[in-house]
Structure 1
Amino acid sequence: MIDLTLYDPFEKMQFTDTNCFLCGTIITTEHRAPVFAEWLQDKYNLQNKELLLLDKSVSTFSQLSIPCCDRCHTHYLLPLEADVQQAAENGVEGLRALPPKRLFQWIGKMYYGSLINELIKEANPLVMPEYAVSEDPKMLGKFRSFYQVLQSLRVPMEFHDFLPCSLFILEVAPTEDNLPFEYQDELTTMSFSVKLGSAAIVCTLLDNGIIRRALGKLHQITENKPLHPIQLAEFKARVFYAAYIFSVVPEYFIRPVKPEDDHLVLDTLIDDVTNEIFNPWDMTAYAHMLEEMLKPWSIRETEILQNPAQPLSFILDADNNFKPMEHFAKQV
């Protein structure tokens, strides 16, 4: 008989090095799984690349790991990584051919792995974070909802007519691309991006695809175009900012389970009657987000907002059509 019982670590705030992150089984501190898979570290030589955590401590890609029992590691994580590794070997087309639910699980595992490290560290931080995740009931509720759908990695689960995220898979032109790997995440807005060679994945978790629909035209005109790295940076800024102003948290409901069922079916509901889906767009806040993404090109907020009615764009021309770009030359 298939066990369809979900694990909920948030009920007792069970975030320790001795509970498997995926099923809650009691384990020893030696039972760990890498947040970033070994194939990813090997392919892009990430082992000693540094990561700054919220408590200001520094980790590396190879050091960042999560408590994980042997069963979950063997039966769920390794097959997931094998699927994504095989897809990534075929670039953009390979990743687009992978079931979106599988990519959601892969991204979710890395995102949640980073979150778990933050929650464990908050029990004994190097420097207390300005905004402790474990002390914010709203954020904990959001993470709890996310963990419910991430359990699809362990418990057979069907999402009925929705995917719990917005996924964008983009192609990066090789001409001025000198970063084979790039990773960014934003814990509170649940935004994520990872670049694997010429393929870039940008994702907003726990929005049920709403941001993908909201940015439909932008996605449509960029989906089959090779983007200059600066265009990819702008695309990420638009997605990350949309996640920043996204103001609702979906609720998920498990349909009653019958004795013969071999999987769970989840429905979803978003309260768009009493709540606005997005907070108002603030051009200055967006410009600040874009400035952060454009740091490698030293483009400042004043330049972005030179025409406040139409902020600087490398993707769209004045008529909102795609602007092909092979080379970037900064205007003096």
Structure 2
Amino acid sequence: MDLTLYDPFEKMQFSDTNCFLCGTNITPEHRTPVFGEWLQQKYKLPDKELLMLDKSVTTYQELTIPCCDHCHAHYVLPLEAEVAEAASKGLEGLQALDQQRMFQWIGKMYYGMLVTELIKEANPLMTPAYPVSEDPKMLGKFSSFFMVLQSMRVPMVFSDFLPCSIFYAEVAPLEDEQPFEYQDELSTMTFSIKLGSAAVTCVLLDNGIIKRALGRLQHLAQGQQLHPIQLAEFKARIYYAAYLFSIIPEYFIRQVKPGDDHLVLDTLIDDVTQDVFNPWETLAYAHMLEEMLKPWGIREQEILQAPQQPLSFLLDAENRFKPMERYVR
């Protein structure tokens, strides 16, 4: 069994002629969809548009990444089939899915968006304000992420950690008009997706630290049906925590011995010489919440009417869960 990892970041090997997962030379027509075909069909996504960082527009159907036939057949399709089966059972099915498989599925979509942006930066429609390929720190972070994402292809055991935080929430049907939603933030490596009433938000490459830090938030949401505006706040709190997260975990492969059929990865986090989180800033959080609340037209001034206690649809004045059936302006 080949336990060799592929590192496209070493030579910035991002093109339409290298498989995204193993690096094999391929022809440009060898592709796999970033968002699985089952997902596109179920939620009628193929012709819906997506705006990229260089201001070009693509559709879900057109959003594909280079992938060799072997990786497509042996790794991508089985993963998509597993998630499709879990998603057919709603939130309960997704929560029951092996967490490493959920990490791989979300990671594949996130990385697909990242690879698409990196390929586009070679010939952009408009040069992005902050090109991903010109930030050494971010490239190092993406390289570490890709190492653990290769658990899709190379059997890999994470020793006492999962390289991400995964949050689940259920959405109440009464005023839910969006059967599918997707958001990501490349720099903080945060990704959220809503499949019917089931919402999943994931912070990649934090080793579960943010989930532990926001444990009370997940506990409050557990067993509740969130109004869509409450889900928006739920995500804003997670996205802002990812924005404050200030360290990059390191991963180390244990020595491979003859006969080994998988890799074992250990991790190290430098929480001695630097803080794990940057200080909370109410104004910065308000900006994040305002962005998430755009569909309701709620602006920063309203969010910060009481600066010491920003507007919340999730929590009451005693920080208890606030049940909500309808949003009334």
State the TM bucket, normalised to the shorter chain. over 0.9
- Cross-structure match for 1:104: 103
Deviations 1:237-262 (A, max 9, x none): 00000011110000000000000111
* Structure 1 partner of 2:19: 20
Answer whether contact 2:246 2:277 (CA < 8 A) is retained: yes
Aligned residue type for 1:57: S
Query: Is residue 255 of structure 1 aligned with residue 230 of structure 2?
Result: no
Aligned AA for 1:75?
A: H
Counterpart of 1:78 in structure 2 is 77
Deviation per CA, 1:65-113: give whole Å up to 9, x if none: 0000000000000000000000000000000000010000000000000
**1:205 equivalenced with 2:201 (yes/no):** no
Structure 2 residue 60 is matched with structure 1 residue 61:
yes
- Deviation of 1:224 (Å): 1.4
Aligned-pair identity in percent equals 73
Give runs of aligned pairs for residues 176-191 of structure 1, distance below 5 A. Answer: 176-191=175-190
SS of residue matched to 1:42: helix
Q: TM-score, normalised by structure 1?
A: 0.99
How does 1:210-289 map onto structure 2 within 5 Å?
A: 210-289=209-288
TM norm structure 2: 0.99
Matches of 1:243 and 1:128, distance apart in 2: 26
Q: Which residue is equivalent to 2:47?
A: 48
What's the counterpart of residue 304 of structure 2? 305
Residue equivalent to 1:294: 293
Deviations 1:129-148 (A, max 9, x none): 11011110000000000000
* 1:191 CA displacement: 0.7
Q: Which residue of 2 aligns with 1:89?
A: 88
Check the 8 A contact 2:168/2:218 in 1, yes or no.
Answer: no
Q: How does 1:311-322 map to 2 (within 5 A)?
A: 311-322=310-321
Total equivalences in the alignment: 329
Give, as a single letter, the amino acid of the residue that structure 2 aligns with 1:6. L
- The 2-side partners of 1:268 and 1:316 are apart by 35
AA at the equivalent of 1:29: P
Output one character per residue of 1:256-299: Cα deviation in whole Å (capped at 9) or x when no partner. 00001110000001100111101111100000100010011111
The letter of the residue matching 1:224 is G
Q: Secondary structure at the match of 2:251?
A: strand
Q: Which amino acid aligns with 1:77?
A: V
| 2-structure distance, mates of 1:3, 1:284 | 50
RMSD of the alignment, in Å? Answer: 0.5
Residue 15 of structure 2 aligns to a residue whose secondary structure is coil
- Give the counterpart letter for 1:256 in structure 2: Q
Partners of 2:55 and 2:8 lie apart in 1 by: 25
Distance between the aligned counterparts of 1:315 and 1:225, measured in 2?
11
Q: Distance in 1 between matches of 2:54 and 2:285?
A: 26
Task: Compute the displacement of 1:169 (Å).
Answer: 1.2
SS in 1 for 2:175: coil
Deviations 1:144-177 (A, max 9, x none): 0000000000000000110000001110010110
Equivalent position amino acid for 2:303 in 1: I
Question: Which residue in 2 is equivalent to 1:195?
Answer: 194
How many angstroms apart in 2 are the aligned matches of 1:309 and 1:247? 24
Q: Distance in 2 between matches of 1:192 and 1:275?
A: 25
User: SS at 2:239's partner residue?
Assistant: helix
Q: Counterpart of 1:291 in structure 2: which amino acid?
A: E
Matched AA of 1:327:
R
How big is the shift at 1:223?
Answer: 1.6
Q: Which runs of 4+ in 1 moved over 2 A?
A: none
For 1:198, the aligned partner's letter is S
Give deviations 1:283-329, integer Å, cap 9, x for gaps. 00000100010011111111111001111101110001100001110
- Residue matched to 2:135: 136
